[in-house]
């Protein structure tokens, strides 16, 4: 024995990563977050003008004009992002390259029922999910149609004279109500539903990193993992039968 202290060597674990979102999708998400946040911060003071904090922000015509300009710039950014998203989807459809994983199917209804029974302790296991589970599909489509409503109603409010040339005048107050109400509903939905499922239920950073670990794939997207590795599924089933 030499009496020398032996420093333990740290064990390095290499875990396989699976692509989840490409660079373009991650940039879309970032632009959506930034534009929606700016729209919310500049839109709420205009909606709730009777409150003292709103009156402080809109205390002069110059301040009101500045906030409206910022709101319009953010609206243009969001509109460009929406048009790009739709254009890319249409292009992929024409090339037969668009995955149908994000579209709702009857299995999502069954999965929701199974998850409810799991949460009520009526079954032991959670349902298996594919690339997107029913919660993620609900999030996508609620936000998609919500943004669509806000974009259309927002441009009607922005250019009332143009739209009232071929639409009845009552469309303007209807657009104002739809625009502001949908913005509040979308904000509540994102803060409660989306952030809970992404950051509190589990810390899911794949929209920023673009990938999922093998453990995340096996735990949260088991059907997708089995589809990518049918040989592992076959070996597991063979072992269970023996």
Write out pLDDT tens, residues 129-179.
999 999 999 999 999 999 999 999 999 999 999 999 998 989 999 999 999
Bridge partners (DSSP) of residue 213 are: 17
Beta bridge partners of 18: 212
User: Using one digit for the tens of pLDDT, what is the confidence trace for 179-202?
Assistant: 989 999 998 998 888 888 777 777
Average pLDDT over residues 100-121: 91
Range scoring the smallest mean pLDDT among 90-94, 201-205, 210-214, 232-236: 232-236
Q: What CATH superfamily classification does 17-230 receive?
A: Transmembrane di-heme cytochromes, Chain C (1.20.950.20)
> What residues does each domain of the chain span?
17-230
What's the mean pLDDT in 60-88?
92
Residue 80: predicted pLDDT: 94
pLDDT band at 13 (very low <50, low <70, confident <90, very high): low
Q: What is the DSSP string of the chain?
A: ---PPPPPPPPP----EEE-S-HHHHHHHHHHHHHHHHHHHHHHHHH-TTSHHHHHHTSSHHHHHHHHHHHHHHHHHHHHHHHHHHHHHHHHHHTT----TTS--HHHHHHHHHHHHHHTTSSSSPPP--SS-HHHHHHHHHHHHHHHHHHHHHHHHHSHHHHTTTS-TTHHHHHHHHHHHHHHHHHHHIIIIIHIIIIISS---HHHHSEEEHHHHHHH-HHHHHHH-HHHHHHHHHHHH-
């Amino acid at each position: 024995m030499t009496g020398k202290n032996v420093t333990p060597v740290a064990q390095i674990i290499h875990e396989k990563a699976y692509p989840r979102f490409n660079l373009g999708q991650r940039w879309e998400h970032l632009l959506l977050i930034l534009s929606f946040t700016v729209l919310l911060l500049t839109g709420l003071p205009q909606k709730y003008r009777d409150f003292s904090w709103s009156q402080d922000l809109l205390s002069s015509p110059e301040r009101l004009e500045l906030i409206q300009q910022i709101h319009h710039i953010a609206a243009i950014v969001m509109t460009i992002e929406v048009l790009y998203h739709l254009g890319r989807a249409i292009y992929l459809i024409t090339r037969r390259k668009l995955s149908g994983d994000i579209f709702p199917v009857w299995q999502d209804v069954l999965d929701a029922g199974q998850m409810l029974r799991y949460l009520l302790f009526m079954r032991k296991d959670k349902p298996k999910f594919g690339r997107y589970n029913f919660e993620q599909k609900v999030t996508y489509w609620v936000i998609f149609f919500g943004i669509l409503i806000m974009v259309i109603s927002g441009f009607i409010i922005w250019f009332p004279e143009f739209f009232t040339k071929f639409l009845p005048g009552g469309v303007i107050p209807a657009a104002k109500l739809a625009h502001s109400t949908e913005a509040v509903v979308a904000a509540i939905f994102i803060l409660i539903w989306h952030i809970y499922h992404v950051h509190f239920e589990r810390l899911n950073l794949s929209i920023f990193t673009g990938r999922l670990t093998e453990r995340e794939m096996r735990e949260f997207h088991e059907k997708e993992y089995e589809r990518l590795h049918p040989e592992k599924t076959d070996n597991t089933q063979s072992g269970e039968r023996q």
